[in-house]
Structure 1
Amino acid sequence: MPVNPELVGRVFPPTDAYLVGREKVREFARAVFATDPQHLDPAAAQSLGYPDVVAPPTFAMVIQDLTLQQLLAEPDSGIALERTIHAEQRFRYTRPIVAGDELTGQLSIVGVRAIGKGAMVTSEAEITDAAGAHVVTATSVLLIGGDE
């Protein structure tokens, strides 16, 4: 089945809140070689005015993944994971993510462009904190290969 062009404009329900843990931030920082002390040491982060360790910018992908799982589970999407490549990623921040944040993501599909037998699917995940304030918008482009 080809990618469903009617995905454009679809908005998914918000995810359950994700509590950002200090150890998760530290693990992620080590995994992406983010060695700045603010990512690992609460005192270093507090000296910069943050309440706890600051997540590296790409940490938003952890929450965005929860939203993308909703898309991949859509029976009418035409997206097969085995034919999917994560082609592009962008983040637009209002403020950094810090340990202790409770974040919720809501996915919108903003584009489907046919490419040969496949398609490019562009999505935006609006990630907000417990007060409903914007933290980051994570934009992903998925390249979906066509059927053989």
Structure 2
Amino acid sequence: MSDSQGLVGRRYELPEPYLVGREHVRAMARALFATNRIHLEVEAARAAGYADVVAPTTFPAVLQDACMQLFLADPDAGIELQNVVHGDEGFRYERPIVAGDELRAVLEITSIKSLGGNSMIAADTVVTDADGGHVVTATATLVVRGEVAA
């Protein structure tokens, strides 16, 4: 793309809601070596005041990645995957994610900066629940070897 700033403000939305399943939560907890029982046992989660098992704090990366794949597949972005590394990630929670949540996610490109011949692409992914309530915002920075801007 000849004008990378034209990507700033672009939004990429998952085409359908993501239903958080117990086994999704448990599998991620195991992969992360999360040992708190609220991630694995319904009874422990309910005893702690949650409706079901609680997703580990990095769980929104699943939704963020799905949205990021839509961005990377956009021909206007002009990004080749072999030139991309993950630079940074963060999460700002309104409430925890629990099994049974039906979530929507929208990624927005917030900035593109050139640094040392590379492009730094910042994006926010806003995750909402079935009622439209804010759950979490996941932030990410991608480093793209070679500048996206011409």
Contact kept in structure 2, 1:55 and 1:96, CA below 8 Å: yes
CA deviation digits over 1:37-78, x for unaligned, max 9?
000000000011101000000001011111111110110112
Q: How many percent identity over aligned positions?
A: 49
Corresponding letter in the other structure for 1:85: V
- For residue 125 of structure 1, give the secondary structure of its aligned residue in structure 2: strand
Whether contact under 8 Å (1:3, 1:77) holds in the other structure is no
Matched, 1:106 2:113: no
Superposition TM-score, scaled by structure 1 size: 0.94
Looking at structure 1, the residues matched to 89 and 23 of structure 2 have their Cα atoms a distance apart, in angstroms, of: 24
How far apart are the structure 2 equivalents of 1:47 and 1:37?
10
Is structure 2 residue 42 aligned with structure 1 residue 42? yes
Corresponding residue number in structure 2 for 1:5: 5
Gaps of 5+ in 1: none
Corresponding pairs, count: 147
Whether the 8 Å CA contact 1:122–1:139 is kept in 2: the answer is yes
* 2:115 is equivalent to residue 115 of structure 1: yes
Q: How many Å apart are 1:116 and its aligned residue?
A: 2.9
Residue 27 of structure 1 aligns to a residue in which SS? Answer: helix
Unmatched 5+ residue regions in structure 2? Answer: none
